[in-house]
A and B are shown apart, each in its own frame.
Chain A
Amino acid sequence: MLTAENLRKSYAGVEALRGVSFEVRPGEVVGLVGENGAGKSTLMRLLAGTQRPSGGRILRDGQPVSLASPRDANAMGIAMVFQEQSLILNLSVAENLFLGQDGEFVRHGLIDRRALRRAALHQLAKVGLDIDPDRRAGELSFAQRQMVELAKALALEDRVDRDLVILLDEPTSVLEQAEIDLLFSRVRDLQSRASFVFVSHRLDEVLAISDRVYVMRDGAVVAEAPASAVTPADLHQMMVGRGVRTEYYLESRQEPPRSDVALAVRGLGQQGAFRDVSFDLHRGEVLGLAGVIGSGREALIRVLFGFERPDAGGMEVEGQAYAPRSPADAVARGLGFVPSERRTEGLVMTLSLGANITLARIREAMTPWGLSRSKEQALARDWISRLGIRTPSADTPCRNLSGGNQQKVVLAKWRTAGSRVLILDHPTRGVDVGAKEEVFRLIRDLCDEGVAILLVADTLEETIGLSHRVLVMRDGAISAELPAPAGGKPEQVRIVEHMV
């Protein structure tokens, strides 16, 4: 039993948690939902010992405890699987599993590697992962890494003599459906040994796995209910304090695409990744790309944007041959790319909003006398008001913006660059519910303007809801093409059957 009583936390005078009470019972899966900034992550950090509360207390089986470090939390049987990938890629799986805890394998001052390996195999078996513990973490797929992280958290049960509480902070955001299913089945298997706190933006998932759900808003718990008693729509309403728009993906704004082809792909292939990929992307069209990790869609979009080169086939942009040697070539031909790794590839986080907006086409901020800050700021202010970016000023570094607002800055960058073909890679990842809707609206706006969009989305639902057509990839080839006109959207199962 883990209990939080009236927990408070403030950062520089701003209250992030305003008296949260929270309870995890043995063997239970507790869902925790809320918009970004609602205080979920702060609550998790306090429970995991990475930060300390400003007020209130945490009790473990009825006894107040002080969690000053992750080590303290571990000693209390609490472990966290972090939202960001927290494996160290140059270390082996076994070393990652016992990082910071390898003292128990020391014999005569040296690490007993055989014992470490044995222990690692034991932990990996718990999550059903059949990999060599001596492999480097960097060689694993994202899903495998997530499983290793889970195993790392579960390894705690051998060290502490009590039931475990595992905190899962958005564990599914980088996983594909099949992998999520695997993770969930593991969580259910392990319920006898541990209780879980499950944080996610995907409300249907939360309801599918949880026994009980807490809803947070503005630093406080606003609702608590058995999962069986609520629907995603209920949760959403509680989170944002208003009803879900019946038309989540703005289907009524989906106009038929124009006839002219923006991007044509013919027989494109890259050895070992994908082969014989052909499609046309029209102006004003959203083309969804579905497929599990390893289906080749990531490699495909990297080739389309010039990060890598194909071995076979060709491409045309607006009727002219297109063979990019670098992203710069892609941008010069009117392509834009909204990456899934927004923090590393999307924005230069330490630069101002204005500087990021002009990064892809700096001449918009140039005058005959050189780069003009005032011109740049005027441009940035224009986008701030058009896209509703919430920021103190155009001069604010992007790292100070919320995820949704950062994503709007990325879109503003490509619109400034005049991109006519946009590749959106998980555009709503790490974006809260309210901001998601704004992103959807922006996508519809782009279509209205005739921009062609290639979409790789977080969920199948999102892919189907937003796209005009869905291309399904399996094992490096296109396995199906399904039309998804407004009012005639395909069923998810029809797509899944082509994916696996």
Chain B
Amino acid sequence: MTLWRQVPGGLIRRRTLLQGMAGLAAVGAMGRPARAQDMPTLVNSIRSLSNPYHATWNQGGEAFAAAIGAPYVTLVTEGDSEKGIADIRAILQKTGGNAVINVDPNDAPDARPIVEACVQAGAHVLTQWNKPADLHPWDFNPNYVSHVSFDGVEYGGRTAQVLIDAIGGSGGIVALGGILSNTAAIDRRTGLEATLAANPNVELLDFQVADWQSGKAFDTTSAWLTRFGPDIKGIWAANDDMAIGALEALRAEGLQGQIPITGIDGIQTAVEAVRAGEMTATVFWDPFWQGAMGLSIPYHARTGTFDPAAEPPEHREFYGSATVVTTENAESFYAEHIAATPQLDFEDLWGRVSGQIRQS
């Protein structure tokens, strides 16, 4: 049972795959006009479907598309900026610009060519997480509807604070960072460092990079156990995968639950670990919301529900609100968001605005 709850897309996937294959085989039958001629194609462009975060994102997109009966396309960059941009241009070309695009750019700079292509084609676009600091939705009215991010600095700092509280406000911690040049990795590390500056009794023993991967985090944590041994009072990780890798390295030595670990992202395994008391905290961004509302907002702009140009800046570039999951709220959070199918009000466009993005 766990499996199907965990990957609700599993069975559907197989069908869509077969449809895709069949479509390719019967190539001549492809490309007939869409059923709903005027309905824009909804597009989610994400890094990859092989990680649970973006897989859930994709499910959000599917749910919204099903709700309004629009055609839906998922594009994956596989970490290749060129491919990401090329695919979006291709879809714009194919739909003649009648598209609503929700994109998590592979890298911040990708956002500019993507937005420019969408503007040129007349599609509506919303970006998430990554964009250059000098690229603003209000410079591209009305097509560039919004940019949504989550405050990596804030939440990186907040998980660090939870960790520091868990170890009693003093002692040494180690930190696992994501890919060095990655914007999210940089922000979360900045938050960590800010919190550390405010807690002079806590020492950062070492900062290492595990490229977001649990396997590398496992090896790094093992080596840390040699280097620092019992001096490690807590482990901060910039994402949940690495936190899980660290947790399993501890478990291999029977230390699970004895050294607090925090992660970020709110994937299911991490939330379960928090429930079990083996992790101390994670941050839930709600990728289902990101995948669904990232389409709903530009869709409503396109259909005229609101005029982007008339919206205040805090609706154009905003931080979404996230949930810090700790041992205190883990049970209720699990019941609400993981055990049950997520329920979203797709019309509630601005419900999770938690403030305008800082201009650094």
Tell me, yes or no, whether A and B come into direct contact in the complex with CB atoms closer than 8 A.
no
